[in-house]
Structure 1
């Protein structure tokens, strides 16, 4: 383990032009750019975000994130290319990126976690590495979660450190795996995490500076030309097929009998969280071709309460069915009326 630490740390610190108000995708893209464009070395940089949820590569967005809450609270939602679980970050968190050369991932991953833990211990934090290289604050909970993936001939490790956080936004934005919480012997997201501000006295920017000094001994500054190239990579993260389309299509069924209208059953074929197609059935009477109207209303939009309501109010599909009101149609699409196949809709 010591040899691996010597090979990886101290690393080269990446300095960027101003990154205020940059979204998580920019920094994830920066990892890719460093991995593909800079000379062989071990590179490290840190970043701080506005409220953001970052999904793991293979997670279902509706199972992990309350999208309606995030939209209301203006919380950004991004998917990363590495595996692992969903995390919430805000300006009380420090995010880290480490880009290394080729080699076995496990020793690199372990060396990263051990070095970060040692840096915190030097400040008096009672921390230790646990499980899949998480960093735990003794008696308080998890303060660092880390993930990794391969990129061409490089390895990329990244993580988040909880100094402080808005727990209301965290609890509202995330949908934790209840079985995972149960197996960990905790009842909520907040009880599973620890906050460094409770045990060390330094400010978050001082902590960030300390970690950079502990883990690096040289630096390289990216240029505005580099930033433009990073922004090109960044744009790929905003494509809906990347954010929502990691999984095969699934079927969501909304069905109810509405007084004065009859039985209505709407089937949404979903790819991730996007509506691919709509089917309509029931014993209602039509004023015109209701299936075409519903398909034109809902196909291609995000399946979220806000998007559904906006589509209904803009297109008035209820007018194609006798006795169906706008309020009844919106009520039909509430979570308690939904059944799913290989899909879990979010609830408020």
Structure 2
């Protein structure tokens, strides 16, 4: 496994980097990335942005909107959100196994005393509250899985920036985004930063993949 070190908070660059790694670093059987974006909204490949975002709020608050190549819903990112990407060579029959790709996050949280569970909607939850959405893309024998972890995200901005359908509120019997999602930091017995959690997740991956090597992606590459 190759771990690509990337400290950029530029959303467009980070989305482009994982797509480049997915489509062009074909000699690598497995690739792992961790990345944090500035305030932005990432929309799925087939989504209509007009239906997914509150344009006036997004424009007034300088929130960047970027499209990814995978499907799934729109997600809000800020500097207290951690994203992870796993790219691997997979037979098409084994592709889209969301649960297996979510195991590193579940096990890292378990080490911190938090029980997280995978749901059939491709989400991760703690006590019934979503804290991670996942999406995947599959091209020519390669799968790219990425997850968006709410660590200490400003939920008020999330609620204002994204449109949430009335059906979601009514079907779950809740009146606010806060009732349906949670930040990881609120569930931890002992508080840590998003950077510390990132390092713990990386440490877990290094133990699981002792052959892991690191690569720094520079613009000249």
Task: Find the partner of 2:193 among 192, 203, 223.
Answer: 203
The residue aligned with 1:215 is 205
Q: What residue in structure 2 maps to residue 28 of structure 1?
A: 15
Q: Are 1:36 and 1:152, in contact at CA under 8 Å, matched by a contact in 2?
A: no
Cα distance change of structure 1 residues 114 and 209 upon mapping to structure 2, 3 Å threshold: same
Q: Counterpart of 1:86? A: 74
Q: Deviations over 1:25-45 (max 9, x none)?
A: 222221222123321321111
Tell me, yes or no, if the aligned pair for 2:4 and 2:217 is still in contact at 8 Å: no
**CA distance in structure 2 between the partners assigned to 1:181 and 1:115 by the alignment:** 30
Q: Any gaps of 5 or more consecutive residues in structure 1? A: 1-10, 230-348
**Distance between the aligned counterparts of 2:63 and 2:220, measured in 1?**
25
Tell me, what secondary structure is at the counterpart of 2:87? strand
Secondary structure of the 2:18 match is helix
Structure 1 residue ranges, 4+ long, deviating more than 6 angstroms after superposition: none
Separation of aligned partners in 1, 2:203 and 2:116: 19
For residues 304-319 of structure 1, the aligned pairs below 5 Å read: none
SS at match of 1:91: coil
1:95 match: 83
Deviations 1:236-278 (A, max 9, x none): xxxxxxxxxxxxxxxxxxxxxxxxxxxxxxxxxxxxxxxxxxx
- The structural deviation recorded for 1:121 is 1.1
Give the root-mean-square deviation of aligned CA atoms: 1.7
C-alpha spacing 1:223/1:115, structure 2 compared with 1 (3 Å):
closer
Q: Does 1:110 align with 2:99?
A: yes
**TM-score (ref. length: structure 1):** 0.58
In structure 2, the gaps of 5 or more residues are none
Q: 1:223, CA displacement in angstroms?
A: 4.0
- Whether 2:110 is the aligned partner of 1:121: answer yes
Structure showing greater radius of gyration is 1
Partner of 2:174: helix, strand, or coil? coil
- Aligned equivalent of 1:158: 146
**In structure 1, what is the Cα distance between the partners aligned to 2:214 and 2:24?**
13
Equivalent position SS for 1:106: coil
Question: Would you say 1:59 and 2:53 are equivalent positions?
Answer: no
Q: Which whole-Å CA distance do the structure 2 matches of 1:77 and 1:156 have between them?
A: 21
Deviations 1:260-315 (A, max 9, x none): xxxxxxxxxxxxxxxxxxxxxxxxxxxxxxxxxxxxxxxxxxxxxxxxxxxxxxxx
* 1:132–1:72 distance in 2 versus 1, CA, 3 Å: same
Higher relative contact order (CA 8 A, sep 6+): 2
* Partner Cα separation in structure 2 for residue 132 and residue 152 of structure 1: 25
- Calculate the TM-score normalised by the size of structure 2: 0.88
